[in-house]
């Protein structure tokens, strides 16, 4: 009997803990009065639609107490002012919902401010800038701008959301030419912690703009971005799939270390076959219809198993993946690490991939290898061309420079379907980055001893990072950015919200 009572008490407390607090429900009510018709509760159609529109479907389980979908900046300001009155209420800000980290653009039992209805893109021909609201996806934006023969530095996969991508940095096919997506932001229209609407401009607030470029959601809610526009015509690009391990990694090594043409870009992804062997899926991109011979180095000598490269509109290239996150029904996680290019160690990528195969093989065997978590590893060149273009536009919070030796960003994507695998899937990725971190000093030292110029500043890339990774702490100007954040958020209001903290 005692144990039944105990169980009942435990269940009851679990229910109590899981329910929204009275204060949260009061905040929802106050917001509902301030923005009538735009706040929704579980059971309402718009709530269900917004709450199911996550790339990581596991985030839908968090269930906010209410979801508010403002359409105007003053409404966002009003919501922020109301949340200031409820100091214990958790909240989160969501644009596209593609960040797979729990609690970033999702919140359990709190208030979700969803910017999905704040959409719109406009090209200002006279000023050569684009005004962009945070809702929507890259495919639509790129297609719309293409009508005017222009584009902005944006997502490589059209289904990805805009607001988070821009606030957290943004790596693009155009980054070697123009820098990261956030480097193109010349003005932020942002609702600050006290509810005021600020226009944070590169001319008048240079330091704050640099801190915000890639700084995440801790400075305010951006409701409009002003971004530099660039001409775009047809491009050469698409996917090639390779199977030859050593020659493909050799081509990757040369491209990371020796990219000369800023119009070229690749994303190199390895997909381990659970039954053995790997496929190498490489996205090629060239801003122009014909890359000069040699642009992609040793890749040009490889014979792909499948070749889908062609001349096509830029909007078609970014729309290779489905145009909506709705319908993706997998649980997902990202984890990332920024690594130096080691000229004398061309086998490093293969070593990393082999270690990865060992980690997963030791955990997943038999049927589980096919039905359990699946993973891909992307090796993304992150070279001095990006640093040079970034510096020329005033720089961003990652603080990369044209004089830095080449780097690459490793991104592990985990996909799985069963909730019980949450910890395990994230654990495999953690095991790999921990192993790399352990050997990093040694392999870098060996390479330096052989005369390689090795990057020793290795900031994490926020858009690809796992929540527990200390992204902001890896920035060389962390202390300066922390002060900038405190300057616009003295009470620590945004600390209650979502993403990577200062
Ligand atoms: C399939 C896929 C492909 C990807 N490809 C790329 C790529 O090529 N390059 C790249 O750089 N990244 C890429 N990413 C990562 C992607 O950029 C991030 O997931 C990004 O956060 C997505 O933007 P979002 O609007 O969907 O973010 P959300 O999930 O809505 O938000 C992410 C974070 O940003 C904050 N935030 C969102 N909007 C605002 C705003 N308006 N003001 C203040 N804070 C805000 C949120 O609070 C949250 O902390 C990819 C992701 C996926 C799933």
> Is the domain of 68 the same as that of 139?
no
Distance, CA of 472 to CA of 325 (rounded, Å): 27
Residues 137-163 have a mean pLDDT of 96
Residue whose tokens read 């226009």: 199
HEC per residue, 146-212: HCCCEECCCCCCCCCECHHHHHCCCCCCCHHHHCCHHHHEEEEEEECCCCCEEEEECCCCHHHHHHH
Tell me which of 97, 114, 131 is where a domain ends: 114
469 lines ligand 1 (CB under 6 A): no
CATH code (residue 33): 3.30.43.10
> Is the domain of 276 the same as that of 402?
yes
Q: 331 is in which domain, residue-wise?
A: 234-471
Q: Are 335 and 433 in contact (CB under 8 A)?
A: yes
Confidence grade of residue 368 (pLDDT, cut at 50, 70, 90)? low
> Is the domain of 221 the same as that of 242?
no
Q: Whose CA is nearest to atom 34 of ligand 1?
A: 164
160 lines ligand 1 (CB under 6 A): yes
- The mean pLDDT of the chain is 92
Residues across the chain: 502
* Closest atom of ligand 1 relative to the 223 alpha carbon: 41
Q: Is residue 143 part of a domain?
A: yes
Q: Is residue 5 part of a domain?
A: no
Query: How far is ligand 1, taken at its centre, from the CA of residue 464, in Å?
Result: 9
Q: Is residue 8 part of a domain?
A: no
Confidence grade of residue 18 (pLDDT, cut at 50, 70, 90)? low
498 lines ligand 1 (CB under 6 A): yes
pLDDT tens for each residue of 407-424: 999 999 988 888 988 888
414 lines ligand 1 (CB under 6 A): no
> Is the domain of 305 the same as that of 425?
yes
> Is the domain of 76 the same as that of 134?
no
CATH code (residue 283): 3.40.462.20
| pLDDT given at position 417 | 87
Tell me which of 98, 114, 130 is where a domain ends: 114
336 lines ligand 1 (CB under 6 A): no
> Is the domain of 363 the same as that of 260?
yes
pLDDT tens for each residue of 91-119: 999 999 999 999 999 999 999 999 999 99
* Closest atom of ligand 1 relative to the 95 alpha carbon: 30
Q: What angle do CA 437, 442, 448 make, to 5 degrees?
A: 120
70 lines ligand 1 (CB under 6 A): no
Q: Whose CA is nearest to atom 53 of ligand 1?
A: 98
98 lines ligand 1 (CB under 6 A): yes
161 lines ligand 1 (CB under 6 A): yes
> Is the domain of 90 the same as that of 189?
no
> Is the domain of 252 the same as that of 349?
yes
> Is the domain of 432 the same as that of 310?
yes
Tell me which of 74, 98, 114 is where a domain ends: 114
Q: Which of 8-17, 160-169, 280-289 has the lowest mean pLDDT?
A: 8-17
| pLDDT given at position 393 | 98
Q: Residue 323 above 60 pLDDT? A: no
Q: Residue 277 above 80 pLDDT? A: no
Q: Is residue 6 part of a domain?
A: no
pLDDT tens for each residue of 223-248: 999 999 999 999 999 999 999 999 99
Q: Is residue 223 part of a domain?
A: yes
> Is the domain of 50 the same as that of 175?
no
Smallest CA-to-CA distance from 186 within 166, 211, 203 is with 203
Query: How far is ligand 1, taken at its centre, from the CA of residue 114, in Å?
Result: 13
Percentage with pLDDT > 70 across the chain: 91
97 lines ligand 1 (CB under 6 A): yes
More confident: 418 or 436: 436
Q: Is residue 502 part of a domain?
A: no
Q: Whose CA is nearest to atom 23 of ligand 1?
A: 164
pLDDT tens for each residue of 385-411: 999 999 999 999 999 999 999 999 999
485 lines ligand 1 (CB under 6 A): no
> Is the domain of 140 the same as that of 177?
yes
Query: How far is ligand 1, taken at its centre, from the CA of residue 155, in Å?
Result: 10
CATH code (residue 159): 3.30.465.10
* Count of domains observed in the chain: 3
Q: Is residue 9 part of a domain?
A: no
Query: How far is ligand 1, taken at its centre, from the CA of residue 214, in Å?
Result: 11
214 lines ligand 1 (CB under 6 A): no
Confidence grade of residue 278 (pLDDT, cut at 50, 70, 90)? confident
Query: How far is ligand 1, taken at its centre, from the CA of residue 187, in Å?
Result: 19
Distance, CA of 287 to CA of 151 (rounded, Å): 12
> Is the domain of 45 the same as that of 140?
no
Q: Whose CA is nearest to atom 17 of ligand 1?
A: 165
Q: Is residue 495 part of a domain?
A: no
Side by side, which strands form the sheet with 185-191? Answer: 121-124, 129-132, 221-228, 185-191, 197-201
50 lines ligand 1 (CB under 6 A): no
Q: Whose CA is nearest to atom 21 of ligand 1?
A: 164
Confidence grade of residue 374 (pLDDT, cut at 50, 70, 90)? confident
């Amino acid at each position: 009997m005692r144990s039944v009572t105990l169980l009942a008490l435990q269940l009851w407390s679990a229910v109590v803990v899981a329910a929204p607090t009275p204060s949260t429900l009061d905040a929802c009510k106050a917001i509902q009065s301030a923005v009538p018709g735009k706040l929704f509760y579980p059971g309402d159609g718009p709530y269900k639609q917004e709450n199911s529109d996550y790339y990581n479907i596991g985030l839908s389980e968090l269930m906010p107490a209410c979801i508010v979908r403002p359409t105007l900046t003053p409404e966002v300001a009003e919501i922020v002012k109301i949340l200031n009155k409820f100091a214990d209420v958790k909240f989160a800000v969501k644009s596209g919902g593609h960040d797979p980290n729990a609690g970033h653009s999702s919140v359990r039992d709190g208030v979700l401010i969803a910017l999905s209805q704040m959409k719109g893109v406009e090209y200002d021909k006279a000023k050569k800038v684009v005004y962009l609201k945070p809702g929507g996806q890259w495919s639509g934006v790129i297609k719309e701008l293409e009508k005017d023969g222009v584009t902005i530095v944006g997502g490589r996969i059209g289904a990805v959301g805009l607001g988070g991508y821009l606030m957290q940095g943004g790596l693009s096919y155009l980054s070697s030419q123009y820098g990261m997506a956030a480097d193109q932001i010349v003005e932020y229209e942002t609702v600050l912690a006290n509810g005021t609407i600020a226009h944070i401009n590169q001319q008048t607030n240079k330091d704050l703009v640099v801190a915000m470029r890639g700084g995440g959601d801790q400075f305010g809610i951006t409701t409009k971005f002003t971004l530099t526009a660039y001409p775009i015509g047809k491009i050469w690009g698409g996917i090639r799939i390779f199977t030859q391990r050593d020659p493909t990694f050799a081509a990757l090594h040369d491209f990371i270390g020796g990219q000369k043409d800023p119009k070229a870009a690749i994303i190199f992804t390895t997909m381990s076959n659970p039954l053995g062997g790997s496929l190498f899926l490489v996205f090629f991109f060239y801003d122009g219809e014909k890359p000069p011979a040699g642009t992609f180095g040793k890749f040009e000598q490889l014979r792909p198993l499948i070749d889908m490269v062609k001349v096509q509109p830029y909007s078609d290239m970014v729309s290779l993946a489905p145009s909506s996150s709705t319908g993706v029904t997998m649980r997902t996680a990202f984890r990332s690490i920024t690594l130096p290019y080691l000229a004398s160690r061309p086998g490093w990528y293969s070593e990393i991939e082999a270690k990865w195969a060992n980690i997963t093989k030791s955990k997943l065997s038999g049927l589980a290898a096919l039905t359990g978590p699946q993973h891909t590893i992307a090796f993304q060149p992150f070279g001095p061309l990006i640093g040079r273009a970034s510096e020329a536009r005033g720089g961003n919070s990652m603080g990369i420079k044209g004089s830095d030796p080449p780097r690459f960003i490793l991104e592990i994507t985990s996909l799985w379907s069963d909730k019980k695998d949450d910890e395990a899937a994230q654990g495999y990725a953690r095991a790999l980055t921990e192993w790399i971190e352990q050997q990093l000093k040694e392999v870098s030292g060996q390479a330096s001893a052989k005369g390689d110029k090795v990057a020793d500043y290795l900031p994490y890339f926020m858009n690809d990072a796992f929540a527990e990774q200390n992204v902001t702490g890896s920035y060389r100007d962390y202390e300066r950015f922390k002060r900038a954040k405190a300057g616009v958020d003295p009470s620590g209001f945004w600390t209650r919200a979502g993403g990577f903290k200062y």
